[in-house]
Amino acid sequence: MDPSSDEEEVRTFVQVISEKYNPDNFRYCRGQGMGVVVLPSPPASPIKDRLFLPSVLVLNDCGISKAGDRSEVAAFCAHVVELDLSYNQLRDWAEICTIVSNTPHLDFLNLSMNPLSGVQLEPSLAEVFSRVRRLVLINTQVSWDTVHTLTKHTPELEELFLCLNSYASVLESQTSCPSLRLLQITDNQLQEWAEVRKLGLMYPSLDTLVLANNNLRSVDDGQESLQCLFPSLRSINLHNSGLSTWEDIGRLNFFPKLEEVKAMGIPLLQPYTNQERRSLIVAQLPSVSVLNGSAVSDGEREDAERFFIRHYQDCPEEELPERYHILVSKYGHLAPLAEVDLRPRSTTVDVRWGDRVEPVSLRLEQTVGELKKQLRALLQLPSSGVRLFHINREMCSVLGPEEMKYGCRALHSYSIQDGDEILVVPKVKNRCSSSDF
C-alpha cells in the first residue's frame, strides 16, 4: 500500500475541531450565550482565531486517528470537561494521551468503538488520566491489562463501561480500584460466578453492577463470601443471564445493601406469567424496594408473599424453600384462594313465538337489546318491534312472566336458568297514541 495514500486519510483531533468550530461558522455568535466564544489571537498564534469551546465536546464518528499539534490541542481544550471521541479510528494510546494531557479539566471520556484491540497502554503514559471520573470503553476490545493500567492511575474513577468487549473471563488485578461506584460490563461472555467474584475483589466499593446479556449460570457463593464480596452493592442488573434456580435469586439477599434488582429474560422465569414472575421474586427478596425499574409497595409485597405461600404449599416438605417457612411463620398457613370462573356463562331456554317453540342457547353477559337482534335473525321475526318476557319455570305460578324492558340490561340480572322460557310477542300500538308500549 502506498504510504502517501495512508497519510492523506489521516484526520487529526485538531483538524476536526478546526473544521467543526471554524470561526466563520460562528460569526454571529459572539457574546450571545451560544457556548462558543471567538476571541482574536495574538499575531504569532498558530491558530487564526482561538475558540473557547463548549465544556461538552462531541467529536464522534469524525475519522480521527491522531491528536495533532499538542499546543493547539491545549489551546482548544482549556475548558473542556466532557469529551466524546467514540466511533473514530484512534488505535494508539500515545495519541489519546496527547489529547487527554492537554485537556486539564477532563472529567468524562468516551472512547467507544475505537479499534484498541491488542494495543497496550504504557504505565508511564497513564498518569494523564488521573482526573478522569467517568470512562467509556464500549466495543474497543481493550485488554484487561490496559484496563488495570487505567484504573491504577485514575484515583477518582467512579464509572467504568466495558460492554461488548468479548470478555469470556476477567484478568484479576493485584491493585484494587476503591473509588469505582458503577461498573457496566454488559454484552460480554461471562458465564461463571468465579469471574464476577474477581470484579468484587478489584472494585470493592461498587454501588451498581450491570451484568445484563452475559450468560451467567449461577450466583455460586455462600452468605459470608457474598457479604464480603460486594459490601456496598445497591443495584444489580441480571437481565438475560442464564440463572436457572431460585437458590440463585435467594442468594442475592446476602448482599447487605442491595435495594434494586433487574432480572428479566432468565430461564428460571420462563414457565410463569409476568405477574407470577414479579410476585415470586418480590417474595424472595424482602429488602429489595425496586424490581425491574418499578417500586415495590408494602401492599404489593404482602400480596406477593401470600402468593408465594400458596404457590408452594402443596409441594413435598423436602422441596419447600427456606423462604416458605419464614413466610408461614409471618402469615400462618393460608387457605387456597377460591377459583372464580370468569368465562362467559351460558344457558339454554325455550323461546316461544306464537305456535313455535325453539331451544336457544343464550350468553348471559349479553344485553336484552343484543338478544332481540339474535332472535330476530334466528327466528326471522318481523322488523317491527317485539316484546320479551322471561318465564321462570320454577316460580311461574307465583311470579308470572317478567317483561325484559330495558335494552341495556344484562341477561344474567334476570337469573335465567336452563329450561326457563322466553316469550316473544309483537308490540301493539295504543289506539289513543302512536307510541309503542
Least confident of 52-66, 294-308, 406-420: 406-420
Compute the distance between CA of residue 214 and CA of residue 310 in angstroms, rounded to an integer.
33
Sheet containing 386-391, strands listed edge to edge, beginning at the edge strand earlier in sequence: 356-363, 346-353, 421-426, 386-391, 402-403
Instruction: Look at the domain 67-331 and name its fold.
Output: 3.80.10
pLDDT greater than 50 at residue 379: yes
Mean pLDDT value across residues 411-435: 75
Contact 23, 48 (CB under 8 A): yes
pLDDT of residue 31: 41
In this structure, what C-alpha cell is assigned to residue 387? 316484546
Percent of the chain whose predicted confidence (pLDDT) is above 70: 86
Least confident of 67-76, 167-176, 374-383, 386-395: 374-383
Q: How confident is the model at residue 354 (pLDDT cuts 50, 70, 90)?
A: confident
Residue given cell 464500549 in the structure block: 138
Mean pLDDT value across residues 11-22: 91
Q: Bigger pLDDT: 42 or 175? A: 175
Instruction: Look at the domain 346-426 and name its fold.
Output: Ubiquitin-like (UB roll) (3.10.20)
pTM comes to 0.72
Sign, CA dihedral 289-292-298-301, equals negative
Q: How confident is the model at residue 400 (pLDDT cuts 50, 70, 90)?
A: confident
Residue 104: closest CA among 73, 134, 149: 73
Q: Bigger pLDDT: 334 or 133? A: 133
Mean pLDDT value across residues 107-133: 97
User: Where, residue-wise, is CATH 3.80.10.10 in the chain?
Assistant: 67-331
Q: What is the DSSP letter of 410?
A: B
Q: How confident is the model at residue 53 (pLDDT cuts 50, 70, 90)?
A: confident
pLDDT greater than 70 at residue 52: no
Compute the distance between CA of residue 15 and CA of residue 37 in angstroms, rounded to an integer.
19
Per-residue pLDDT tens over the stretch 217-231: 999 899 999 999 999
Contact 129, 147 (CB under 8 A): no
Per-residue pLDDT tens over the stretch 71-112: 999 999 999 999 999 999 999 999 999 999 999 999 999 999
Per-residue pLDDT tens over the stretch 268-294: 998 899 999 999 999 999 999 999 999
pLDDT greater than 80 at residue 401: yes
Q: What is the mean pLDDT of the chain?
A: 87
Among 7-16, 19-28, 415-424, the range with the most confident prediction by mean pLDDT is 415-424
User: Where, residue-wise, is CATH 3.10.20.90 in the chain?
Assistant: 346-426
pLDDT of residue 85: 98
pLDDT of residue 370: 87
In whole angstroms, what separates CA 149 from the centre of its chain?
32
Mean pLDDT value across residues 31-35: 42
Least confident of 7-11, 97-101, 406-410: 7-11
pLDDT of residue 344: 58
pLDDT of residue 69: 96
Residues 6+ apart with CB under 8 A from 49: 23, 38, 39, 40, 41
Residues 6+ apart with CB under 8 A from 86: 60, 61, 110, 111, 112, 113, 114, 136, 138
